[in-house]
Chain A
Amino acid sequence: MPKTSNIGDDSRPRIIVEKVRKTFLLRHTHSLKESVIAAVRKKSLTSSFNALSDVSFEIRPGESVALLGFNGSGKSTLLKLISGVLQPDSGDVFTRGRIAGLIEVGAGFHPDLSGRENIYLNAAILGMNREEIDARFDAIVAFSEIEQFIDTEVKHYSSGMFLRLAFSVAIHTEVDILLVDEILSVGDEPFQQKCLKRIRELHSEGKTLVVVSHDLDMVSDLCERGILIKEGRVAFDGESALAVAQMRS
């Protein structure tokens, strides 16, 4: 586990995306039998879909970048390539430093475990070790505002409580790069504001942010830079307000 670096004058990029292409092979068969039958009938077993083609950019330390685009433009795919969940078909993705994703928070939660157990499990999934979690535990619980239910099984939580806890764990991970995917729609208005505030705090501490959201006003306010993705290609890369304007035009 690489330690987060605190070298302020480091100007090397945090993320390098170089000529990345990602094609999804959609398999039409899900068993050997189906494959054989399809092969015999000379039906195609797969069809391909170009999610990203020739995407290149660099993100420097401390930048906050919005990935913009309509549904299906490939921005979530891009985020998954940066987090390592997906691998590019060609081109390279490099990252430097610790990286954590606020991508579909709560993915690692287990309904039968208590809030406390889930905090430890999820923080460990996001790459923290025991000491780091112990040190942050109280902050995580306080942020989620569910102190009194912390030893209750998560399946008894309301969906709002669940999301608050999940978000709270994710946002307290020790990172250099924070990936945020459409999660600011979490919870009620006050909690959203609190999350935004916390994200701004992380940004002002010099963390690098990459945000995907459909709330264009919020992203153009939160991020300085916007990368507009259209049909899998970079259509614009510059000031976020301009990127949003271009997207709306």
Chain B
Amino acid sequence: MTESVSGPDRDFVRPGQGLGLMDVLRRRYLLSLLIRKEVQIRYRGSILGWLWSYVKPAAQFLVFFLALGVFLQLNGSIENYPIYLFSGLIVINLFNEAFGNSTRSLVDNGALIKKIYLPRELFPVSSTIVALVNFLPQLVILIVVCLVIGWDPTIPQLGGTLLGIAIITTLAIGLGMLFGAANVSFRDSQNFVDLIIMVATWASPVLYQWTQVAKIVPDWVFFIYQVNPLTAAVNLLHAGFWYPTTEGRGLLAPNLWLFGLLGLAISLAVLTIGQLVFRRLEGRFAQDL
């Protein structure tokens, strides 16, 4: 719970100075209870309950499919556009939910943080895992649809989807800690995050294809576009789910693995920065909430 420091001797600890994310691993039981609580109370008091986690993405999918697929005719230019759209959409939704909720998690749990010491990293981490739990049923639907259409992925392609999900969760926890910690003092932070979330959906090839970007922007801009870890993750998901259903007719983004690993490295760097900033600001949490 607390770190041994150079106190009078090694049995002594400074209360409230933990090991950050390492403490979250040590308190897995509490983490599991916090996740279970969130999952349980999420749709309590609603008639549709957990059906809402299907209704919302379904409606969103339908809107984008009609507007972009039918009206803007992406259906014709992108092979199996519904699968393309859905596989990108669920992973970007995972990011948006995880990032948004972890940013708010500290303020939401203010009553607890002010009264009892516990590793505060628990809150962004549990929010992200709850988003992951919410993501799973959507993933199941995607897999079922892919299987119905005819899906024959290779092992590296499946590994790529796991890498994509790892990028998203790492990035969401890192950014969530960063903006969540700032949100304690300045609530501007969560509005800023809403803005990022709005842009995120369009700044990666979720609704359109990467070729449409590459055609128009200069090379260096396209490079930055590809370095975006979200682009890497979305591309990896496309490679794992959509591409194997197109019988090789789909067009995959170049250097998937290179940008995937780079995306993971960037996400880990963001996680480190998030943790450092979190540690710096943490001392003020109980006062500012």
User: B-contacting residues of A (Cβ < 8 Å)?
Assistant: 1-2, 12-13, 16, 24-25, 27, 30-32, 80-87, 92-97, 99, 101, 103-104, 107-108, 110, 112-113, 117, 120-121, 124-127, 129-130
Contact = CB atoms under 8 A, between A and B. Distances in A.
A121 B33 contact: yes
Interface stretch (B52-60, B181-189, B255-263): B181-189
Contacts, number: 109
A94 B14 contact: yes
Interface residues of B, number: 39
Nearest to B28: A129
Contacts of B118: 125, 127
B188 A32 contact: yes
**Which of A30, A80, A97 gathers most chain B CB within 10 Å?**
A80
B17 A87 contact: yes
A-B CB proximity, top 6 nearest: A84-B16, A84-B15, A84-B117, A107-B115, A94-B12, A124-B30
Contact of A87 (B16, B34, B112, B187): B16
A120 B40 CA distance: 14
Given A84-B14, A110-B41, A124-B29, 16 more contacts: A13-B8, A83-B15, A85-B16, A85-B116, A87-B17, A94-B12, A95-B12, A97-B11, A107-B114, A112-B44, A117-B37, A121-B34, A121-B37, A124-B27, A125-B118, A130-B29
B33 A86 contact: no
A166 to B, nearest CB: 11
Contact of B14 (A93, A97, A120): A93
B116 A125 contact: yes
A99 B188 contact: no
Given A32-B188, A86-B287, A87-B16, A107 B112 contact: yes
Contacts of B34: 121
Contacts of A127: 1, 118
Contacts of B27: 1, 124
**Which of B7, B111, B115 gathers most chain A CB within 10 Å?**
B115
B247 interface: no
Contacts of B187: 30-31
A149 B113 CA distance: 28
